[in-house]
Amino acid sequence: MSWHYALRRSTTEAGPWFDVVEVYEGASYTAAGIAPGGETPELVAKELTRMLTDIARYPAIDETGGQDAG
């Protein structure tokens, strides 16, 4: 199954909230935001780079129902 990272836009009681989720092609996306991690600092940096690349490449997920979240 193919997947990528995407920015998710939502609204909380405190106001707008943005986080990164994993999107599974043709299925769904993670319910909780994803934090970068890895066994070395270099692997964490590589994961962050992939997140940034995917956020720029793929459309954001908007859970606000069209409300202005930011």
What is the domain count for the chain? 1
3-46 pLDDT tens trace: 999 999 999 999 999 999 999 988 899 999 999 999 999 999 99
Decide if pLDDT at 69 tops 70.
no
- Domain range for 9: 3-62
* pTM of the complete model: 0.82
Q: Which residues pair with 24 in a beta bridge?
A: 3
Let me know if residue 7 belongs to a domain. Answer: yes
Contact 35, 22 (CB under 8 A): no
Decide if pLDDT at 70 tops 50.
no
What are the residue ranges of helices labelled H in 1-70? 41-57
pLDDT confidence of residue 66: 62
Distance CA 9, CA 60 (A): 7
pLDDT confidence of residue 52: 98
Let me know if residue 35 belongs to a domain. Answer: yes
Let me know if residue 37 belongs to a domain. Answer: yes
